[in-house]
């Protein structure tokens, strides 16, 4: 949905290089999340944010860091990419008021994803 | 430890048939059970959701059946159409204010054949 964008949409990088993925929202939702999606595992939470500069770890946070300097942007950084981090990464948001994405405040809304390949 | 188990992994249904996807959970603290639909190259999108105080919820051709005592819930797609071909994820979450701690199932790839 246009209310959540992710960049880049595709990236190929080499082992050991740093990578930063960006999630941008225009919905003013308080909570933002980073998930990775792998076959047989569904979606697994990496990190989440509950406000500007407020973040916490999810179940698969090792090797990842995040930052949120303003409400609309949530960055995911792989400090030194490894082949095990090849995945599709999704950003999600929740906790907003009525907006273009819908009226539900109890639902996570997902971005279009970033496909990352680490060679 | 997987807290939400989803089956089957894949499903092929003829057009007009009923598609059924099942999920089971362990944590009785879950208070919200959404189903997401995902098309190739897209992010998951909310399809339908239910709270544990309701045994069934229907929206168009999509119905969630919820059995609290058995800790199971299922998605039924009536009159399945080729356009329903997608991956479906069940989920269970604990909601606190606007924050949701969501646990997803592993997904079911549905193919509806003409």
Higher pLDDT, B101 or A17: A17
Residues B79, B19 contacting (CB under 8 angstroms) = no
Torsion of CA B47, B51, B55, B58, to 10 degrees: -30
A91 CA: distance to closest CA in chain B (Å):
9
So what's the pLDDT on residue A94?
A: 86
Chain B touched by A51 (CB under 8 Å): no
The Cα-based distances of A57 to A16, A19, A37, A61, B84 in angstroms read 22, 18, 17, 6, 35
So what's the pLDDT on residue A105?
A: 62
Q: Hey, which residues 97-116 in chain A have their CB within 8 Å of chain B? A: 102, 104-113
Interchain CB distance below 8 Å, B98 and A31: yes
Residue B2 has pLDDT above 80, yes or no: no
Chain B touched by A57 (CB under 8 Å): no
Nearest to A105 among B34, B98, B107 (CB): B98
Cα separation of A44 and B91, whole Å?
A: 11
B103 CA: distance to closest CA in chain A (Å):
8
Binned at pLDDT 50, 70 and 90, residue B50 comes out as very high
So what's the pLDDT on residue B69?
A: 95
So what's the pLDDT on residue B95?
A: 80
Residue B47 has pLDDT above 80, yes or no: yes
List, for residues B52-83, the tens digit of each pLDDT value.
999 999 999 999 999 999 999 999 999 999 99
Nearest to B89 among A42, A102, A109 (CB): A42
pLDDT tens for each residue of chain A, 119 residues long: 559 999 999 999 999 999 999 999 998 888 999 999 998 888 999 999 998 999 999 999 999 999 999 999 999 999 999 999 999 999 999 876 555 555 566 788 999 999 999 99
Q: Hey, which residues 64-93 in chain A have their CB within 8 Å of chain B? A: 90, 92
Burial class (CB within 10 angstroms; exposed 0-12, middle 13-18, buried 19+) of A90: buried
Nearest to B43 among A42, A90, A95 (CB): A90
E strand or H helix that includes residue B102: strand B99-104
E strand or H helix that includes residue B23: strand B19-25
Residue B99 has pLDDT above 90, yes or no: no
Higher pLDDT, B100 or A84: A84
Torsion of CA B7, B36, B32, A106, to 10 degrees: 170
State the pairing for strand pair A42-51/A54-57: antiparallel
């Amino acid at each position: 949905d246009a209310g959540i964008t992710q960049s880049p949409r595709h990236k190929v990088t080499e082992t050991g290089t740093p990578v930063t993925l960006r999630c941008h929202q225009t919905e003013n939702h308080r909570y933002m999340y980073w998930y990775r999606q792998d076959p047989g595992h569904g979606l697994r939470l990496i990190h989440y944010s509950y406000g500007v500069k407020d973040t916490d770890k999810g179940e698969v946070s090792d090797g990842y860091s995040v930052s949120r300097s303003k409400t609309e942007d949530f960055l995911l950084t792989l400090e030194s990419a490894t082949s095990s981090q090849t995945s599709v990464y999704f950003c999600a948001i929740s906790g907003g008021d009525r907006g273009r994405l819908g009226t539900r405040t109890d639902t996570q809304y997902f971005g279009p994803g970033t496909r990352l390949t680490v060679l | 430890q997987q807290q939400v188990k989803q089956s089957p992994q894949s499903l092929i249904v003829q057009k007009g048939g009923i598609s059924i996807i099942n999920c089971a959970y362990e944590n009785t603290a879950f208070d919200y059970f959404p189903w997401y639909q995902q098309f190739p190259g897209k992010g998951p999108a909310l399809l339908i959701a239910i709270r544990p105080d309701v045994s069934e919820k229907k929206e168009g051709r999509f119905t969630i059946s919820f059995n609290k005592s058995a800790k199971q819930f299922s998605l039924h797609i009536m009159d399945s159409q080729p356009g329903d071909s997608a991956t479906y994820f069940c989920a269970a979450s604990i909601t606190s204010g606007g924050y949701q701690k969501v646990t997803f199932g592993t997904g079911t790839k549905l193919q509806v054949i003409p």
